[in-house]
Amino acid sequence: MAITATYSNSSSQPNAQGGSSVTAQSQIILTLTGDGSATSFTQSLASLGLISQGFGAPTSGTAVITKQQNSGLPGVWAKNKAYTLNTIIAAPNGTLQKVTTPGTSLNTSWLPTNAFTLNQIILDSFGNGHQVTGAGISGGAIPVNFGLNVASGTVTHDGGVTWQCLGQWPNFTSTLNATLTDGTVVWTGQGPNNVVVGYDAPTATVAISGGNLTLNFSEAMKAPGAQVTDTYGNVFTFGVWTCAITLTYGAGTATGNISTSWTSSTTVNTTLSLPTAGQSTVIVPMVNSGTITGGVLSFQASVDGTTYFPVYGTIPASFQPIAQWTLTAGSNVITFNVSGFNFFQAVLTSVVVGTGSVAIALQSQTAPPANLLTAGVVGSYNTTAPTPSNGSASPLQISPSGNLLTQSYRRSQVLMATGSIASATPATLLAAQSGFFTDLKSLVLTLSAESVAAYITVTISDGTNSYVFGYASQAIGTAGAGSWPIAINWDVPIPASNSNTAWTIVISAADATIRYVAQFIKQSANF
């Protein structure tokens, strides 16, 4: 058996390097199907379309493989659940707890006029544990202290029974090797929970020889469908591997090279000219420094050196033809096809405004960069979102299947917040995201329990602005009685007032439980 690959995408990006030579880079995406044993893969450059008429074969390359998850997080405690020996869970107090005696977790509830024995432990409907400190027969109604927010240590007299509240159950401690009996299960503390998600992240080196491209992997590439079970019982199934390869081509020596720097003192219509007889390509790198708030460069070509015509070039990130460059758009490189012209010039058609400068160079060569497009639109597949700077261009994005992406958000921008609140004290709905605004996209609120028929408000705030939603229950003690869930999806998300700010949620009275599902979009201020 051997590793197989599917060719997915390629893009050529000419890049001016210094004043004496020109190089180009191409990126290809290979979808690799591992076989569980092979540690290398070889394919001919010609079959991948990577032999350039202008540059020949690539001279070097780098590769990045998308990692796949192979370990997860421990589960959480559940009542009335059968636990096997050595099962590990994540406790609410930030520790890991391990089953040292298998059995079934606690599920005993309070009953009226029932005999309870000394040290017996039960659960109330709010998840609190209560232990018998005085045995006897319980009363006819559920004790008032079997409710929300009961402090640990609270003593309750219930008919002939005396109870002491243990707090939220199970009440694990942070002491290493401390044990807790939970139903018929015995848990033993394993120390702090420092578990993080793990990944299988193979690396690859690129070798180019004899017209072939070879990838040498740091490990055998697992086959699709291969599974691994982590310490906590999570099962992960591997799929195909995505490998992004960047290849570098070396061109011949540039036959023409001239450069200058223009500032606000440079007069309008100043030109930088280069003879191009017998040349086919001119590459124009432009590098801004300092502060520039205005200025325009135009590009022209001529046969006789007297009459000049506008010429159109392309930038690496966009294949739309351009004949002018606005300096406020930032640094870039433009490639021009000058076949048939004997002269080429850059003209400062609008003076530089500001205290900065623009360094401009004209470099010609005898062969154009590989696969250069002078018209049309092409998409780019990126496993991570591009990060264009202010004023720069970015190629259209495509999916791994080659389809044009039209959605407004990437998966990595979507954040979810789920949980419940039963407190009139504000709680964190979503933590602050450093350097980003988190805008509220959708919200679902459900009234799951209420002890008093009343009008309840739910307030969601970003620290500056607050948004209030109301419930009117029609029955006492009935979960969600007379109240439909509130479900809202905003076409335009509610914008966060500031970046780096947390969202909070609070209810008007602590006699109800509100469950929530909220969706946020993480984005920068200028999106």
| CA dist 314 → 19, 278, 333, 369, 375 (Å) | 20, 21, 8, 12, 8
Per-residue pLDDT tens over the stretch 363-404: 887 654 444 443 444 566 677 777 666 655 566 777 777 677
The answer to whether the CB of 138 falls within 8 A of the CB of 161 is: yes
**Is the bond preceding residue 170 a cis peptide, omega within 30 degrees?**
yes
- Average the pLDDT over each of 72-76, 118-122, 179-183, 505-509 and give the range with the smallest value: 505-509
Give pLDDT, residue 508.
87
Q: What is the pLDDT of residue 373?
A: 40
Q: Where are the domains of the chain?
A: 4-69+198-252, 82-192, 255-365, 411-523
pLDDT digit string, tens, across residues 244-290: 998 887 654 444 677 889 999 999 999 988 878 778 888 899 999 99
* pLDDT tens by residue, 151-186: 999 999 999 999 999 999 999 999 999 999 999 999
List Cα–Cα distances, 176 to 87, 102, 167, 190, in angstroms: 17, 19, 20, 6
Q: What separation, in Å, do the N-terminal and C-terminal C-alpha atoms of the chain show?
A: 48
Radius of gyration from C-alpha coordinates of the chain? 34
141 in Cβ contact with 165 (< 8 Å): no
The pLDDT of residue 448: 76
Query: What is the rounded (10 degree) CA torsion for 69, 71, 76, 82?
Result: 120
- Least confident span in 67-76, 400-409, 426-435: 400-409
In angstroms, the CA 269 to CA 349 distance is: 5
Give the span between the Cα atoms of 281 and 274, in whole angstroms. Answer: 12
* Angle at the Cα of 180 from the Cα atoms of 178 and 186, rounded to 5 degrees: 110
> Residue 117 — very low, low, confident or very high, per pLDDT cuts 50/70/90?
very high
Instruction: Give 57-106 as a 3 state SS string.
Output: CCCEEEEEECCEEEECCCECCCCCCEECCCCEEECCCCEEEEEEECEECC
Q: Assign 221 a pLDDT band (cuts: 50, 70, 90).
A: very high
CATH class of 255-365: mainly beta
The DSSP line for 16-33 is EETTTEEEEEEEEEEEEE
Of 25, 27, 29, nearest to 6 by C-alpha is 29
Question: Does the pLDDT value for residue 71 go beyond 80?
Answer: yes
Report the candidate in 58, 7, 65, 6 with the shortest Cα–Cα distance to residue 39: 65
pLDDT category, 195, cuts 50, 70, 90?
very high
Q: How many other C-beta atoms are found inside a 10 Å radius of the C-beta of residue 149?
A: 10
For the chain, what is the mean pLDDT? 84
pTM score of the predicted model: 0.45
CATH of domain 411-523: 2.60.120.340
**What is the separation of C-alpha 60 from the centre of its chain, rounded to a whole number of angstroms?**
30
pLDDT in tens, 16-59: 343 444 456 777 888 999 999 999 999 887 666 665 534 556 78
Which of the four pLDDT bands, split at 50, 70 and 90, describes residue 480? very low
pLDDT-derived band at 317 (thresholds 50, 70, 90) equals low
Which two structure tokens, joined as six digits, stand for 207? 């070798």
The residue among 251, 212, 204, 211 whose CA lies nearest residue 12 is 251
> Can you read off the two tokens belonging to residue 34?
């591992």
CA distances to 38, 110, 153, 297, 327 from 350, rounded to whole Å, are 60, 84, 79, 7, 10
pLDDT, residue 374, reads: 39
Of 5-9, 179-183, 509-513, least confident by mean pLDDT is: 5-9
Confidence tier at 509 by pLDDT (50, 70, 90):
confident
Q: Quick one: CA dihedral 109, 111, 117, 119, positive or negative?
A: positive
Task: Give, as one character, the DSSP assignment of residue 372.
Answer: -
| CA-closest candidate to residue 162, choices 226, 222, 102, 119 | 119
Q: Is the pLDDT of residue 209 over 90?
A: no
What does each C-alpha distance from 331 to 248, 259, 284, 286, 290 come to in angstroms? 22, 15, 11, 5, 12
pLDDT for position 306: 82
CB 313 within 8 A of CB 322: yes
Averaged pLDDT, 312-332: 83
Same topology between domain 255-365 and domain 411-523: yes
Residue 130: other Cβ atoms inside 10 A: 28
**Could you tell me the pLDDT band of residue 124, with boundaries at 50, 70 and 90?**
very high
SS3 for 309-333 is EECCEEECCEEEEECEEEHHHCCEE
